[in-house]
């Protein structure tokens, strides 16, 4: 299955791209990470987790791990049921439909926004809210240019980029090894901290990356780093205020979604009206 952002999800699960730079999902594409994935670390330490997915769980990038943990990978409907019942596990991964809800071209971005609003509202209305930190993070930046040059990064491991050629790629004749390494970050991507303890009116100026989410999990439960990258990553705690009464213990009300009851404010393939008559 083609997936243009394939090198990024492994960073969130194991702290490394494992040499991947191509776009084909398959068991032969990714080697098993030397120190395993974060879910295997959670299992070893008796920490509950779930990967709630809509179309395809990211954990399927590691077929043996997915096969051993299928009971911990329920469909998205179970997330909303668990949130309402106050039964969310210690660590949750919540994944949208990668075909219709990730706000990528040519998708209707209002559908992805509606998914996010549903997830955030479910968390804020859950009995678990008072002790929850939700990290809402894109894995792409929404364009092909960033005026801020990507800074240097700690290489996660000694695995350099490897182009694994498949017949369907039509890349016959290209070398298997690609010059370079993972000693630099990519384009910036948006991220939002949703929590009773979120620092009010705060925009972080600390450099974070996808493995900062691993760093937060590892810091919370005193777990070892999986690679040099997550070991060096900032753990997002600058965005939380744990010293005073939580600013958002009473969760704020979000604006109503424009994509409710099947309504689609955007016309697929067409630019929207300016100004937007729906506000």
Would the pLDDT of 136 be above 80? yes
pLDDT for residue 173: 46
Q: Output DSSP code: residue 220.
A: H
Average pLDDT across the chain, whole number: 85
Strands 191-194 and 134-137: antiparallel
Residue 192 and residue 45 in contact, taking contact as beta carbons nearer than 8 Å: no
Burial track 190-202 (b if 16+ CB lie within 10 A, e otherwise): ebebbbbbbbeee
Higher-scoring residue by pLDDT: 25, 142: 142
Distances (CA, A) of 270 to 105, 106, 266: 12, 10, 8
Q: What is the mean pLDDT of residues 2-12?
A: 68
The span from the CA of 94 to the CA of 219, in Å, is: 21
CB of 171 closer than 8 Å to CB of 24: no
- 76-114: string of b/e by CB count within 10 Å (b at 16+)? beebbebbeeeebeebbbbbbbbeebbbbeebbbbbbbb
Model confidence band, residue 140 (pLDDT cutoffs 50, 70, 90)? confident
Q: Where are the domains of the chain?
A: 8-239
DSSP states along 77-93: HHHHHHHHHT---SEEE
Predicted confidence (pLDDT) per residue in 73-114, tens digit = 999 999 999 999 999 999 999 999 988 888 887 788 889 889
- Residue 207 pLDDT more than 90? yes
3-state class percentages of the chain: helix first, strand second, coil last, to nearest 5:
30, 10, 60
| pLDDT above 90 (res 50) | yes
**Partner residues linked to 16 by β-bridges:** none
Query: Residue by residue, what is the 3-state secondary structure of 39-61?
Result: HHHHHHCCCCEEEEECCCCHHHH
Task: Give the SS3 label for residue 141.
Answer: coil
**Considering the entire predicted model, what is its pTM?**
0.86
For the stretch 221-247, pLDDT in tens is: 999 999 999 999 999 999 999 987 899
Helices (H), the chain: 8-14, 38-44, 63-68, 76-85, 109-124, 211-221, 228-232
- pLDDT (mean) for 204-213: 95
User: Residue 20's beta-bridge partner residues?
Assistant: 162
Per-residue pLDDT, 1: 33
Please work out, in degrees rounded to the nearest 5, the angle formed at the alpha carbon of residue 48 by the alpha carbons of 42 and 49: 80
Return the pLDDT at 266.
57
How many residues are given for the chain? 279
């Amino acid at each position: 299955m083609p997936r243009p952002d394939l090198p990024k999800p492994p960073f969130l699960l194991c702290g490394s791209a494992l040499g991947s730079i191509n776009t084909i999902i398959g068991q032969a594409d990714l080697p098993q990470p030397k120190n395993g994935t974060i879910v295997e670390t959670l299992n070893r330490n008796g920490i509950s987790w779930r990967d709630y997915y809509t179309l395809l769980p990211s954990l399927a990038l590691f077929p043996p791990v997915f096969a051993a943990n299928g009971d911990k990978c329920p469909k998205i409907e179970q997330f909303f049921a668990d949130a309402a019942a106050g039964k969310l596990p210690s660590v949750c991964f919540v994944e949208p439909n990668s075909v219709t809800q990730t706000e990528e071209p040519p998708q209707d971005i209002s559908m992805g926004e509606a998914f996010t609003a549903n997830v955030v509202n479910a968390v804020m209305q859950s009995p678990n809210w008072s002790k929850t930190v939700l990290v809402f993070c894109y894995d792409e930046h929404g364009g092909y240019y960033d005026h801020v040059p990507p800074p240097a990064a700690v290489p996660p491991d000694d695995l350099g980029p490897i182009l694994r050629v498949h017949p369907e790629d039509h890349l016959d004749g290209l070398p298997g090894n690609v010059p370079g390494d993972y000693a630099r970050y990519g384009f910036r991507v948006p991220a939002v901290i949703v929590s009773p303890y979120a620092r009010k009116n705060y925009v972080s100026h600390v450099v974070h990356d996808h493995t900062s989410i691993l760093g937060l999990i590892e810091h919370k439960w005193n777990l070892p780093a999986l690679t040099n990258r997550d070991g060096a990553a900032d753990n997002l705690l600058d965005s939380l205020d744990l010293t005073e009464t939580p600013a958002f213990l009473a969760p704020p009300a979000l604006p109503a979604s424009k994509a409710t009851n099947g309504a689609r404010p955007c016309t697929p393939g067409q630019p929207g009206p300016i100004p937007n008559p729906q506000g």
